[in-house]
A and B are shown apart, each in its own frame.
Chain A
Amino acid sequence: MKGMGIMYDAIIIGAGVVGCAVAQQMAKYGGKLLVVDRMEDVADGASKANSGIVHAGFDAHPGTEKARLNVKGSKMYGALARELGVPYGQPGALVLGFSEEDRETLKKLLAQAEANEVEGCRIIERDEILEMEPNTNPEVVCALYAPTSGLVSPYEMTCALADSAAENGAEFSLANPVLEIKPTSDGNWLVLTERDEYKARAIVNCAGIGSGVLHNMISTRKVKLIARRGEYYLLDHMADIPFTMTMFQCPTKMGKGVLVSPTTHGNILLGPTADDIDNGYDVATTRKGLDTVMDKVRLTWPKVNLRQVITTFSGIRAHEENGDFIIGKVEGAPAGAYEAVGVESPGLSAAPAIGQELGDEVAAFLGLEKKADWKKPTPLPRAFRNMTDAEREEAYKKDPEYGVLVCRCEQVTEAEIRAAIRRPVGARSIDGVKRRTRAGMGRCQGGFCSPRVMEILCEELGVSPLEITKCGGESKLLVGTLHQIAKEARPDEN
């Protein structure tokens, strides 16, 4: 229990995009900060497996926290992404209508857009849709056009926020699940984790799907979080990208429906489904779910080709049964308890706003002042794959390991992989390297590069290949040396 006695000003529980945004904001103030998470890396829950859309804000009901924070957050994205050097774009979105009934839904969305002060939305007709996006199903009737809809790489955003927080003194304790939070007799908070226990003047619960259980430990108003799983297909990048905008279908009460969207890296994402499940950590994909995605996608994009699929995945939305975010002071709890609970879509869009508001609120509670020596984030360097030849020459001159291509599919160099491991909150696993560099994210899915990535992790971390994991915990890639396993099988032989 080495943490016993260490007193933090604030402990942030959950290192997803919301937790890291809160941490980044709070690190602008003096104060001793700790971020804890159950997973071995940041962004290892909902933040790594979602649509990566920065929603314009027409979907959320006016007057809700979702609507307010979505619109505020999405307006912050451009500047924040630039500051952090994270891939971001604003290609716009279409919500497709295939009937006059759908047109009524679109009109309601347009009215919401106006109420939420989302700029530039309008309803457009078939010809204009097909001119904008020629691969759209020609049976389309009309669409809501939202020019401010954006795209971000959610895990890269989270990693960059975490780095900025860490560069300004925030500590991270990963692979350390929180078991219990409770107020202490001296007016502080105790955070019990699997590895340790910590004290803090304030706690901020940003634990995603786990936030409901923590909330209910300390609040007088109980909440119920529903784990709503969404399954996706990811398609390879193609020479001619079939859609430049995010293509939604009309929303249902289960969510925004199945979309077809480019990603910031030029892939195409298809999904998600929306299935309520019992185990909030079960991110398996299912035949039924994947088939559902494909069926629904064909309405938007009849010519979708399964041969372009490079992977499938699923993510969990933490849906609060009343449908809105719960942000701020924990109701009925002693002073110093804050939270962001029920942060499902548009949570990624809202994250910068949640981070700013909640970070400022907790700092004010703690009586902290903005630090004079706060270090501005170091923007992530341009990826080798996006460099011009001249930039590649320059990069090579500074670091000859830019000359070694480790991941051929995504053109990731050894220099970039080493840098990802050396970042303030660095990669510790194959997936950690993948999220930060895209090595292994391409069409061969790490078939060629994972042995080399493993070697580089070993060199950087000073561990044996037998210690390297795919994603922490027991996800080890190798089970033993040839000799060890042969010996186990035939103990009598030499």
Chain B
Amino acid sequence: MSQKTLYDKVWKKHIVGELPTGQTQVFVSRHMMHEVTSPQAFEMLREKKISVKHPELTFCILDHVIPTHDLSRPFEDNQAELMTSTVEENTKEFNITYFGPGSGKQGVCHVAFPEQGLIWPGQIIVCGDSHTCTYGAFGTLAFGIGTTQVSHVLATQTLAMDKLKVRRINFNGKLNKGVGAKDLALYMIMKLGVKGGVGFAYEFGGEAIENMSMEERMTICNLAVEGGARLGYINPDKITFDYLKEKEFAPKKYFEKAVEYWKSIASDSDAQYDDVVDIDVPQVEPMVTWGVNPEQTIGVSEIIPSSNKFEGKLKEEAEDALNYMGLNAGDKIEGTPVDVVFIGSCTNGRLIDFKQAAEILKGKKVAVKTLVVSGSEEVKKQAEEIGIDKIFIDAGAEWRLPGCSMCLAMNPDKLVGTQRCASTSNRNFKGRQGSPTGRTHLMNPYTAAASAIEGKITNPGKYLGGYPLKGIKKNE
């Protein structure tokens, strides 16, 4: 049983009481919302004639259905227009802060809310979205919930939850050039499996994590849920506090008091975990998924595995995946032609991600349709201030307005037919990017940018000044 971890401390602090069912009622510090999982929840409140208990702790945004090329209203897509006007009406009626397009604060929820300073360490933060675990980067317990649970939080500011076990994952050593948080996450999921984290909260630590910026920490926490964990977090430190200082919604008058609290909830040095895993970071190269879930991943220099490398049902899944993805076991993953490249999403839609892509694309041209979708109005503004947008436009890529876009293609940005996409998003499920037969390869922004230039999956080492990238230990 875990003890003295951040998870234990923060969980305990927010317990309202034990419920007759044996679950725990916990207080929700902040509730983030978006247009997709909220309409039915607001309707549930209306039916029960309940108002929102803490509108001041509730924030809402538009990100999944918003077009990234043209914001004129009404949107061409009737359903998107209805969903948008519904969220505008709901937030007005229930008096909830709403960051709409043009506010300067709109964007993909898990990019936009943190950059405003809304996510603090030592809290419980929820949203009707599985990638809410992103906020764990701040040393907070953040996780996704369903629409009915959204109505519970709106009505009571609490949830019925079960306590999780805690697995500590040590990312030991330094990152190789061209390798980032995205690759560490994919490597971890490859090793532990997509179900490996079920029942766990993940605590990420180690040298590689300690040296990471908040943006990179958000990338790795974002993918905790893809490994089956409900949430993932990183202990807050000076990097966290420096990031929050001066942000609009961060504590102002009581900032020092807040920092004291935040320091106090970090895991103790003698904290006990239910499980500990060590990952050797220098072994990790840029990763690429070959299959239809994030576990089906290899290093960019590696060979697409045969289904014989897997046992039991995993073998069937591998066969099915290779068939769907139109790939041959034994081929190198590098060199696989792609039709579209997507750089963005709540995983890699922050300024650092666009800087990385721009580092590679500067002075080059893309060979295929490349969508570069800023994670938020603020990210877009900052990118344009340093001229990154021009690098993308000069390269022939499309510099788009902020939104979830092609990550899950609820807006017009979709794959067509069996198109293959090099993507910096978080899921490579069948049909994920808008076509039931579309193919997705997940990777980091460097790899996506290099792939855009060549029109095929490409090792970014080629474009990063020839700095040697170490390959992963090959298990023959």
Do A and B pair up? The answer is no
